[in-house]
């Protein structure tokens, strides 16, 4: 193992089938040459990258190091777990989505992007027909006439149905949560537009 100077707790091992997190150079569109690793997790690789004098040129990546020093990439366990979670969230979409979704349809891509952006912010979709239907969450409604998706918040039944804190609190919280959804989507570059009390995200043309 040859230890890389300036990278705490790291080194580079030969291509011996070890799969893990590595520090590589280059952009996302190139294989990248391994600078150090393997590391126990992405965070450790990232911290080592920050320790480089030219840290901006180094980034964490998952896979196995080839004999030529480049990385043979593959999905990390965290990425597989994220995809499983995202799939479970998309399964919460109501039945009226079924006839509209096709693998190569831009609307399908859009709803996946919106769902991912919300979940990465810690905002789950509303599970209207599941055991957690009373808990609330983000509601995505297909709107072919608008060529997009309407996004709105659904509060817990205690607020929206039972109104245990009164109608004024229900209305105020609803508006606040819809604004929060709009801000998250805007930050993620999805360009939400006001649509009544909710927002609509349109497909790119």
Vertex 61 angle, CA 59 and 65, to 5°: 115
* Alpha carbons within 13 A on the beta-carbon side of 125: 26
pLDDT of residue 2: 28
pLDDT tens per residue across all 205 residues of the chain:
222 333 444 445 555 568 899 988 866 666 678 888 899 888 888 887 665 555 457 888 999 998 888 888 889 999 999 999 999 999 999 887 877 777 677 888 899 999 999 999 999 999 988 888 899 999 998 887 788 999 999 999 999 998 999 999 999 999 999 999 999 999 999 999 999 889 999 987 5
* Domain spans in the chain, listed from the N-terminal domain onward: 19-74, 78-202
**Tokens in use for 115?**
């769902």
If one counts every other C-beta atom within 10 angstroms of the C-beta of residue 21, the result is 22
**pTM attached to this predicted model:** 0.78
By CB neighbour count within 10 A (0-12 exposed, 13-18 middle, 19+ buried), where does 46 fall? Answer: middle
Residue 183's contacts (CB-CB under 8 Å, 6 or more residues apart) are none
pLDDT of residue 168: 95
pLDDT of residue 87: 94
């Amino acid at each position: 193992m040859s230890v890389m100077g300036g990278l705490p707790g790291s080194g580079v091992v030969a291509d011996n089938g070890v799969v893990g997190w590595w520090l590589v150079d280059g952009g996302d569109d190139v294989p990248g040459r391994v600078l150090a690793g393997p590391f126990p997790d992405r965070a450790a690789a990232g911290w080592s990258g920050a320790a480089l004098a030219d840290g901006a040129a180094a980034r964490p990546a998952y896979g196995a190091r080839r004999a030529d020093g480049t990385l043979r990439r593959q999905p990390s366990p965290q990425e597989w777990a994220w995809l499983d979670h995202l799939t479970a969230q998309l399964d919460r979409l109501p039945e009226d989505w079924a006839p509209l979704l096709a693998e190569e349809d831009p609307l399908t891509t859009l709803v996946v992007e919106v769902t991912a952006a919300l979940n990465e912010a810690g905002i789950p979709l509303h599970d209207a027909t599941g055991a957690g239907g009373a808990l609330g969450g983000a509601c995505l409604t297909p709107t072919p006439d608008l060529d997009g998706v309407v996004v709105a918040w659904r509060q817990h039944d205690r607020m929206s149905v039972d109104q245990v804190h009164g109608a004024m609190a229900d209305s105020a919280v609803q508006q606040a949560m819809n604004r929060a959804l709009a801000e998250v989507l805007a930050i993620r570059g999805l360009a939400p537009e006001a649509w009544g009390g909710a927002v609509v995200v349109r497909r790119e043309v």
